[in-house]
Amino acid sequence: MAAIIKHRLFWPAVILVVLLVTNVFFSGSFFKVEFRDGHLYGSVIDILRASAPLGLVALGMTLVIATGGIDLSVGAVVAIAGALACLRISGLDDQNSVTGVLLAVGLALLLSLALGVWNGFLVATVGIQPIIATLILMVAGRGLAQLITDGQIITINSSPYKMIGAGYWLGLPLCVIIAVGVAVVAGLIVRRSALGLLLESVGGNAEASRLAGIKSRWLILIVYVFAGLCAGIAGLMISSNVSSADGNNAGLLIELDAILAVVIGGTSLAGGRFSIAGTILGAVIIKTLDITIYTVGIPPEVTLLFKAVVVVVLCLAQAPKFREKFQRRRPSAPATQAPQQKVEVTA
């Protein structure tokens, strides 16, 4: 039991259970899942659907942070990918053309990869601090998204494109299947090969890794490219869910929630140790907390404050030093003294 409590995912799992149970007191049918028209419906399904884009962004952020970096531009990449895809689809004669939609999606993902290469180039090759390098694209990328949309909200009516964020497959939301698929593939690659160990070594000590013969620059470039790809897929999910692209508000501040999900999942911001499963769990916790706030009926003016308090409690529960201070210590048994024997000394 002590080993289970000390596990890095124990307290996040406890918080998730507490949030889910809290919703039951205010909505008796919270756990009710119905199968209608060949699809699953319910509050739990809504949480999973809302967690998919954030989980993808946080997944890319996890590997970036594992190398000792940070990516503040993922929100801008989300907006750019959705804007470019919607712009391309809006110009089609037939917006329901599968070929046209696939080309638009492919073009958006290629641009997302290129933006990831740009971030990786600035960090790995030029040597700019990650927070500064990605801050450049965070600001410029948001402007690029507005240039693509011409400052307007692009609205489309494309059934194939809507499948990405609002469609179902085998009764489950397609966006959830995509997010789980990407997470499983990424987890297998980094844990079943030496890549995960190399990333942790670069994050732990980049200079020592370089001296040991590890090509840290290529690894850093790869993780930023992967983060850009994940943000691009998330952007497609968000824009297809509402069948529109808003270069100003799409993906706004999602980078902060992604970093928060990574921290909740037990990944060290200093680099090195990381947990993909913990990150996905952190993303689900954040979206569950958002829905809990509305279910409980917390006033909008204190929503962010309440969210911050819950996050602080969760982080404190995870901190080893904080737990040690409140851990119940068993009183040590008094030492027993052996009886002294009299020794007679004869002259």
Asked whether residue 343 is assigned to any structural domain, the reply reads: no
pLDDT value of residue 243:
92
DSSP strand pairing (34-36 vs 39-41): antiparallel
Asked whether residue 332 is assigned to any structural domain, the reply reads: no
Distance CA 105, CA 157 (A): 15
Cα-trace Rg, the chain: 25
Q: How many CB atoms lie within 10 A of CB 97?
A: 15
pLDDT tens readout for residues 20-71: 998 888 887 888 888 888 788 888 999 999 999 999 999 999 999 999 899 9
Q: Which two tokens stand for residue 144?
A: 């690029």
Asked whether residue 346 is assigned to any structural domain, the reply reads: no
Specify which of 73-87, 245-259, 312-326 reaches the highest per-range mean pLDDT. Answer: 73-87
Asked whether residue 163 is assigned to any structural domain, the reply reads: yes
Asked whether residue 74 is assigned to any structural domain, the reply reads: yes
pLDDT tens readout for residues 65-100: 999 899 999 999 999 999 999 999 999 989 999 999
Counted domains in the chain: 1
Helix, strand and coil content of the chain, in percent to the nearest 5, comes to: 70, 5, 25
Percent of the chain with pLDDT over 70: 90
Of the candidates 266, 312, 337, 276, the residue with the CA atom closest to the CA atom of residue 10:
266
Indicate the average pLDDT of the chain: 86
Cα angle 171-238-76, degrees, rounded to a multiple of 5: 150
For residue 347, pLDDT beyond 50 = no
Range with lowest mean pLDDT among 80-89, 110-119, 128-137, 335-344: 335-344
Asked whether residue 71 is assigned to any structural domain, the reply reads: yes
Distance CA 69, CA 256 (A): 14
- Cβ atoms of 78 and 231 closer than 8 Å: yes
Give the CATH number of the domain where residue 241 resides: 1.10.3470
Of the candidates 74, 12, 20, the residue with the CA atom closest to the CA atom of residue 42:
20
Cα angle 101-87-166, degrees, rounded to a multiple of 5: 55
Enclosing domain of residue 10? 2-319
For residue 8, pLDDT beyond 80 = no
* Cβ partners under 8 Å of residue 37, min gap 6: none
Cα maximum dimension of the chain: 120
Angle (deg, nearest 10), helices 254-264 and 74-90: 130
Q: How many CB atoms lie within 10 A of CB 145?
A: 27
326 versus 113: the higher-pLDDT residue is: 113
Cα dihedral angle (255, 257, 259, 265), rounded to 10 degrees?
-150
Distance CA 22, CA 19 (A): 5
Asked whether residue 336 is assigned to any structural domain, the reply reads: no
pLDDT tens readout for residues 184-196: 999 999 988 888 8
Q: Which residues of 15-40 are buried (b: 16+ CB within 10 A; e: fewer)?
A: bbeebbebbeeeeeebeeeeeeeeeb
- Cβ atoms of 275 and 282 closer than 8 Å: no
Asked whether residue 197 is assigned to any structural domain, the reply reads: yes
Q: What is the DSSP letter of 122?
A: I
73 sits in which H/E element: none
pLDDT level of residue 327 (50, 70, 90 thresholds): low
Distance CA 145, CA 344 (A): 98
Distance CA 133, CA 153 (A): 28
Query: Mean pLDDT over residues 275-287, rounded?
Result: 92
pLDDT value of residue 264:
87
Of the candidates 44, 293, 65, 17, the residue with the CA atom closest to the CA atom of residue 173:
44
For residue 311, pLDDT beyond 60 = yes
